[in-house]
Amino acid sequence: MAEHNEHTQLNGDPEGYGRTAYTTPAAPADRIPTVVADSVDIVYRVNGTGAGRGSATAALNRILRREQTEKAAGVRRVHAVKKVSFIAYKGEAIGLIGTNGSGKSTLLKAVAGLLPVESGHIYTNGQPSLLGVNAALMNDLTGERNVYLGGLAMGMSREQVKERYQDIVDFSGINEKGDFITLPMRTYSSGMAARLRFSIAAAKDHDVLLIDEALATGDRRFQVRSEDRIRELREKAGTVFLVSHNNKSIRDTCERTLWLERGELRMDGPTEEVMKEYEAFTGDKSDKTGKKPAQKKAA
Amino acid sequence: MSQVLDTPPPTQAPADDLKALAARHGLTVSGARPSLPEYIRQLWARRHFITAFATAKLTAQYSQAKLGQVWQVMTPLLNAAVYYFIFGVLLGTKRGVPDYVPFLVTGVFVWTFTQSSIQVGTRAISGNLGLVRALHFPRAALPISFCLQQLQQLLFSMAALVVILLCFGVPVSASWLLVIPALVLQFTFNAGMAMIMARMGAKTPDIAQLMPFILRTWMYVSGVMWSIDKLTAKDHLPHLVTVALETNPAAVYIDLMRFALIDSFHAKQLPPHVWAAATGWALLAGIGGFIYFWKAEETYGRG
């Protein structure tokens, strides 16, 4: 709660909190921003839409006549994120909510630097890491190899990987039901694979960690463990973004929430206030503990 | 409901303030391409990843086969056997080539190294999007790692090659040491080509469909199963064609390896200035490919 009070004070407007933009340009010096999104627009271009555009001649036409307008070339523009601005600070855990296709995953990808922005800018402290349900590791290799390679790829030294190897395996809980870590990852269930992926990514102290529905696949015990780990990462002065359709998960981990709807930032404020509005909007009075199917790419 | 904003918050900070705020705290644009020296430094920091990834891929390659790692040696040998049957026996290209079997097998193995490096390079980014989108590392680590895997594969083949050489009575000689510089140069060339193909394959996945045809054509003109110097010795070829055949990088690396290993393959059969050509191709492809790949670093895995 101390954190909440601090925010309120800093905002200097406890009453209007949540109604105005949560981010103020006059942020005091003791709060260090880690992610700054400056009126970000993201537009997808999808090839092969429109009548007959999927045919071979249309494809050739598209290649040969580069200069023509996008519409004539059968390219459709999908404006997935519209003029979104926010500032995230060190030690914050920020939930991202919104109905399916509202641009949450797209926004996270852009923050991670994996999607180009159409206009505006995203500034980050260091390199944010995105952890999503689709983040496949190497399926033909054993879990053990994946831990090792994942650690090295994230920039850990061989000694660091060796040092943390046991922690990662214990955290993932892969070996709870027998020696599964030495089996190829293609033999894992989707829940097990997701748990191992999260464990590898969470082994490093990220400045900014973006989590996209990654917790939804694990069992309850694993979810609790991951939420603890997210809290721990925050305390080590990191910033965590969490996309989830599990409102309880957001309430448990995040004190601030961004609500995206049709690509627009609809609300930005303390989780409780935003959640109340969001639940009224979606017509859901009770806490949702069940899981919705994985959110599709906003398109 | 009245509290809910239907439009973006009206009290947004002006763009300049956010930019200034970001600059004040040393934030950088997300996903921007690092400078070339910084990129090389990052890549060097991931050298253990590159080698570990190559080894892991190599050992996983035949993990679903019953014979397992035996295929590392069996595959190149079977390849060589097929070429021997078709070109050596049926078409008779072995006429006038001394030590035809060592000549052919060396050619096939060295060519396979370049061919598979380019093939895996084409799919280095497009075939590993999951990894690229999940973790941040300099993307050049992928094509380089795949080439390293091919080099390890070649070393397995070389072990088999040594046995074949000895069986066909090719004596062990000091010139075998030339294999090392030849392989270093060929690896640099292959890595450069793999990086070029990786960038092209990432942008246009259709390239992967086209590569088998280009590579097969390249193989037939590279003297893998026939002797280039026999062809150029007859003077009915235009000069330009002779030069093209002799400076073809694949032919250069294959002939270097034959010269190093086979005693009956004499220096006069080598194309002129062969070491200069081998080094030149390695530097051109290696440096050029690396810069070409780095230029598009921020675009890999997007969209």
What residue segments make up the domains of chain A, in order of their start?
2-128+206-282
Do B13 and A23 lie within an 8 Å CB cutoff?
A: yes
Token pair belonging to B87: 């070109």
**Chain B contact set for A121 (CB, 8 A):** 18-19, 22, 29
**Residue B44 in this model has a pLDDT that exceeds 90:** yes
Contact B135 A154 (CB under 8 A): yes
Contacts of A18 (CB under 8 A, 6+ apart): A267, A268, A269, A270, A273, A274, B3
Largest pairwise CA distance in chain A: 64
On whether any CB of chain B is under 8 Å from the CB of A86, the answer is no
CA A229 to chain centre: 16
DSSP bridge pairs for A211: A131, A242
CA dihedral in degrees (B275, B282, B35, A134; nearest 10)?
Answer: -160
What six digits make up the tokens of B151? 């080099």
At A115-148, the pLDDT tens digits run 778 888 899 887 787 776 555 567 788 888 888 8
The closest CB to that of B25, out of A32, A82, A110, belongs to A32
With an 8 Å Cβ cutoff, is A110 touching chain B? yes
Interface of B with A in 52-81 (CB under 8 A): 52-53, 56-57, 60, 63-64
Query: The CATH number of A2-128+206-282 is which of 3.40.1170.20, 3.40.50.300, 3.40.50.920, 3.30.1450.10?
Result: 3.40.50.300
Q: Is A127 on the interface with B (CB under 8 A)?
A: yes
Element (H, E) at B233: helix B228-233
Q: Give the closest-approach CA distance of A225 to chain B in angstroms.
A: 21
B141-167 helix and B100-122 helix, angle to the nearest 10 degrees: 170
- List the single residue in B with minimal CA-CA distance to A42: B303
User: Where are the strands (E) in chain B, listed by range?
Assistant: 28-29
Give A152→chain B minimum CA distance, Å: 5
- CB of B135 within 8 Å of any CB in chain A? yes
Residue B15 binned pLDDT confidence (cut-offs 50, 70, 90): low
Which of B6, B18, B48 minimises the CB distance to A85? Answer: B18
User: Which residue type sits at A50?
Assistant: G
Interface test with B, best of A114, A209, A262 (most B CBs within 10 A): A114
Digitized pLDDT (tens) for each residue of chain A, 299 residues in all: 334 443 433 343 333 334 344 444 444 456 888 889 988 988 887 766 555 555 666 667 666 665 555 655 566 788 889 999 999 988 888 999 988 888 888 898 888 887 778 888 899 887 787 776 555 567 788 888 888 888 888 888 899 999 999 988 988 888 888 888 888 888 888 888 888 888 888 887 778 888 887 666 677 888 888 888 888 877 776 888 988 888 888 888 888 999 999 989 999 999 999 999 898 888 865 544 444 444 444 43
DSSP B138: -
Distance from CA of B118 to the nearest CA of A (A): 21
**Cβ under 8 Å to B: A residues 218-257:** none
Q: Is A97 helix (H, G, I), strand (E, B) or coil?
A: strand
Interface contact A87-B17, CB threshold 8 A: no
ipTM over 0.85: no
Whether the CB of B300 is below 8 Å from some CB of chain A: the reply is: no
Confidence (pLDDT) at A1? 39
Record: contact B133-A24, CB cut-off 8 A: no
Q: Which residue has the tokens 């103020």?
A: A24
B159 reaches A (C-beta below 8 A): no
d(CA A275, CA A17): 14
